[in-house]
Structure 1
């Protein structure tokens, strides 16, 4: 399930916001976006006066609360005293992206020498679990289109050609464009984020909690289609829990001679962890962040969102427990281990490590050696996981049995109280 792109449109004008004249900025932007963007997107509109504090508050709301991936403003970019859009943007930004402003002035200079008076900026606003690109555009509809599309006949690219790749780089969704208007540019080496399709199992009533369950290598989400019912039968209070069962993309698996199968990251060996797919692990982690954010946007409190996984899914679950900056309801990992131990990629430890964590493994597992799991348990505790419970099951191989389901049900019953 791929998240729709959310776009904030902000028209900044004293007179338009007072009703003195009709705003043309937002309608022009909406029409342009509808003809250029091919995949579904959602729009948040705001019409506000040229007041710096108001602009700052609206930009923060659109990024922090509405989770917009892209925010486009129009108006208020000149040198007049009331033109404060760039100032407000930079004050709430975490980083500037200077190339956007430079290219916008280059485009405008083809038409008017006063383009050098424009103070338009492009910038990023980043929070713990989200990031957005903010671009200040001109106020006139014709200038908006020229700035976004560029001047192909003169060999001048518009700024929107770089927007999709920028949004992907900061962890946002994929944007596809109609090349008739704008051909989105991506380096040949760039990999687009895989669209994650998920099996969503809703409860009979309104959901008040959610479990995101990651399957193992070569499997898919349907493997856990009855998992909620099995946990309920063992005493877990999941009658109002939504199950989110994402499917990993098909990728070549090195230890299987490059054969493509569903996997969260590449595997090189089952016996050694000397070589690990750090890039693939980090890429899947960004998808996990998005899945958690989607549940929050559906009204599920963060402390009632749980991430679990089996085998490779367990590896990603434990990695997320270390990396996430904010706690969630809890984590449970079955028959797996924490990847990238002692690698620089795991040096960041977020506060999610303080969430409740359940780890279960078979003591006769011939796929993931029990020693891998035991080392991971010790390492997680060293990192600060003081609510971690680990359970080894005699005779259990690389699977899940009723004893483990019972213990996991008890864990969920405790944390959901």
Structure 2
């Protein structure tokens, strides 16, 4: 099986839990690598996949790392649901790989920032096995009207964070990282 290339950070102790964390448009799996030490997870493997390089319509068709095409900005425009689902399938494969490596599905958190968050919603809420949680950071629920939610994740713990200035440049701040650490503690410990 061919997996997305990923940055993987192994914990100091044998991995018992995993966080699969998707970056935003035009970024890479290295984006959230620096926050791992702040999260103080002694037995959590962090997996940061790199999105494939695809043309993005709103950027004049420029090829860049993207989970799916952005056709228009602002609400109400067309959404590349097929692209979201293609990326979701590739993240499903990473979840299955974590399970094969000995991490039960209920000990895996799926996280996403910005465009990666839209894919994370799709992955976590429709995944057939119970997951530990979902983190949706500075994002939107692109497939809210069409997702086929699984029964297994009807009561999935979800951490949602969206900053005051997110309509402009967005990022995570120290307070948000502390809240992420607390969420991971609550669902993985």
TM-score clears 0.5: yes
Structure 1 or 2: more helix by fraction: 1
Contact 1:327-1:354 at 8 Å conserved across structures = no
What is the CA-CA distance between 1:413 and the residue it aligns to?
Answer: 1.0
Q: Does 1:222 align with 2:24?
A: no
Which protein, 1 or 2, shows the higher relative CO under an 8 Å CA cutoff with sep ≥ 6?
A: 2
SS at match of 2:162: strand
| Structure 2 contact 17–108 (Cα < 8 Å) conserved | yes
Pairwise CA distance, 1:228? 1.4
Residue 319 of structure 1 is matched in structure 2 by 122
**Residues 251 and 273 (structure 1 numbering): CA distance in 2 closer, same or farther, change over 3 Å?**
farther
Corresponding residue of 2:53: 250
Superimposed CA distance per residue, residues 305-349 of structure 1 (whole angstroms, 9 cap, x where no aligned partner): 11101101111111223211222111101000111232xx32x11
Conserved in 2, the CA contact under 8 Å of 1:265 and 1:277? yes
Q: Residue 398 of structure 1 is aligned with which of 143, 149, 170? A: 170
- Counterpart of 1:196 in structure 2 is 4
Give the equivalent residue in structure 2 for 1:359: 160
Partners of 1:314 and 1:334 within 8 A in 2: yes
Describe how 1:164-203 pairs up with structure 2 within 5 A.
Answer: 196-203=4-11
Quote the RMSD (CA, aligned, Å). 1.4
What does 1:76-115 correspond to in 2, within 5 Å? Answer: none
How far apart are the structure 2 equivalents of 1:334 and 1:318? Answer: 10
**1:349 matched to which residue of 2?**
149
Deviation at 1:202, TM superposition (A): 1.0
Q: Give CA-to-partner distance per residue, 1:5-37, whole Å, 9 cap, x none.
A: xxxxxxxxxxxxxxxxxxxxxxxxxxxxxxxxx
Distance of 2:82 and 2:101 partners within structure 1? 29
Q: CA deviation at 1:288?
A: 1.2
Specify every segment of 5 or more residues in structure 2 that has no aligned partner in the other structure, as ranges: none
- 1:60-88 per-residue CA deviation (whole Å, 9 max, x = no partner) reads xxxxxxxxxxxxxxxxxxxxxxxxxxxxx
TM-score with structure 2 setting the length = 0.94
**Displaced runs of 4 or more, over 6 A:** none
TM-score by length of 1: 0.44
Q: Is the 8 A contact 2:19 2:110 kept in 1?
A: yes
**Does structure 2 retain, via aligned residues, the 8 Å contact 1:212–1:243?**
yes
**8 A Cα contact 1:321 1:353, kept in partner:** no
8 Å CA contact 2:24–2:113 kept in 1: the answer is: yes
In 2, the alpha carbon distance for the partners of 1:277 and 1:335 equals 19
Give the distance between the partners of 1:359 and 1:296, measured in 2 at CA: 25
Q: What CA distance in whole angstroms lies between the structure 1 residues aligned with 2:176 and 2:186?
A: 15
Q: Distance in 1 between matches of 2:177 and 2:82?
A: 32
Alignment of 1:18-33 (within 5 A): none
Structure 2 residue aligned with 1:338: 141
Contact 2:35 2:177 in 1 (8 A): no
Counterpart Cα distance in 1 of 2:129 and 2:154? 9
Q: CA deviation at 1:205?
A: 2.5
CA contact (8 A) 1:336 1:361 kept: yes
Distance 1:325 1:365 in 2: 32
Larger radius of gyration, structure 1 or 2?
1
